[in-house]
Structure 1
Amino acid sequence: MPEKVVSNTSPLISLFSINRFHLLQEFYPHIFITEAVWKELTDTEKEGVQFFHQEKEKGFLVINRVTPSPFLQLLHQELDEGEAEAIALAMEKKLDLLLLDEKEARSIARIYKIPVTGTVGILMRAKREGKIPSLRKELLALREAGFWIQDDLFHEALHSCKEK
């Protein structure tokens, strides 16, 4: 089980929005986030701000400052601040896993050999471990909440978990 996990904003908000944030707590002892991700989570009027503050107070969400570097500057040229900082933190701290949904950011992380999973991957793991009864139901809930899932990924995930 990966012990050192860093997350971008999207997986945290997405799982919160479908009442499945607890899966992260079941899989990982804590999640590292960057200052930019924290700002994205809390600098808003959206539902969940208080919840994320509570998770920080409990020590589940752990904020880490990323050291400014040429690598981080390079990432900022291609990605938004949260994605760039999450990748930089994963490299800097040699973390075990990066939670990231955005396709371009995932491609860049893979170039640097950073193990990546995203919201769909977390839900697939939950299905395989019997923590959720239906992957399809969760993926549809994500779509209903405004989370974009390509049709190919939707069907691949279902097939991988032996659902139709």
Structure 2
Amino acid sequence: MPNYISNTSCLIVLDNIDMLFILKELYRSIIITPEVAKEFEKPIPEWIKVKDVDDKKYLKLLNTFIDLGEASVIALAFEIEDAVLIIDDLKARKLVSKLDVKLTGTLGVIVNARKKQIIHSLEDILYKLKKAGFRISNELENEILKYDGL
């Protein structure tokens, strides 16, 4: 099973809509960095493992292009076998795609949760996400809603 490494945005938005459990149900455990834990600003559940980045120089280099939280999870992905990053930030996603690292985002997580019947309505989740300040284009929302009839 892949090792899922999450950035802060997915944790915050799912926590804000009381759906953080989705990550546990899907992946059993996820990994974050101390930088992400600090940004999350809440107690970390026991099923979330906090791991430091060993290569601080690589972390520092990445941090010149993107925020520290994103930089730390990308750096960690190179240190952990079979890593999949959960990142929403567009700039970080573009960088990750150039680095040939597996990637998903909060929306990918909820679609996967729907496919595995952990949640029963993407429409309800999308409504809650938008109400909590998560931005999504109408086009992408319509694309995601195609999975609601599973």
TM-score, normalized by the shorter chain, greater than 0.5: yes
Q: Tell me the residue number matched to 2:142.
A: 155
2:93 counterpart residue number: 106
SS of equivalent to 1:146: coil
1:100-147 per-residue CA deviation (whole Å, 9 max, x = no partner) reads 111111111111111111111111111112222210110111010011
Contact 2:121-2:148 within 8 A present in 1 as well:
no
Determine the structure 2 residue equivalent to 1:80: 67
| 1:18 equivalent in alignment to 2:5 | no
Aligned partners of 1:157 and 1:126: how far apart in 2? 12
CA RMSD of aligned residues (A): 1.6
Distance 1:37 1:94 in 2: 20
Question: Counterpart of 1:150 in structure 2: which amino acid?
Answer: S
Per the alignment, residue 46 of structure 1 pairs with: none
Q: Which runs of 4+ in 1 moved over 4 A?
A: none
3-state SS in 1 of match to 2:64: helix
Query: Which residue of 2 is the match for residue 32 of structure 1?
Result: 31
**Relative to structure 2, which stretch is displaced further, 60-69 or 13-22?**
60-69
Is the CA contact 2:110–2:122 (under 8 Å) kept in the aligned structure 1? yes
The sequence identity of aligned pairs, in percent, is: 36
Q: CA deviation at 1:70?
A: 3.9
- Name stretches of at least 5 consecutive residues in structure 1 with no aligned partner: 43-48
CA distance in 1, matches of 2:144, 2:13: 17
Kept after mapping to 1: 8 A contact 2:9/2:87:
yes
Alignment of 1:83-162 (within 5 A): 83-159=70-146, 161-162=147-148
Q: Distance in 1 between matches of 2:81 and 2:96?
A: 13
How far, CA to CA, are the matches of 2:120 and 2:111 in structure 1?
11
CA distance, structure 2, for counterparts of residue 79 and residue 152 of structure 1: 27
Q: What amino acid maps onto 1:31 in structure 2?
A: I
Unpaired stretches in structure 2, ≥5 consecutive residues: none
2-side partners of 1:126 and 1:162: how far apart?
Answer: 11
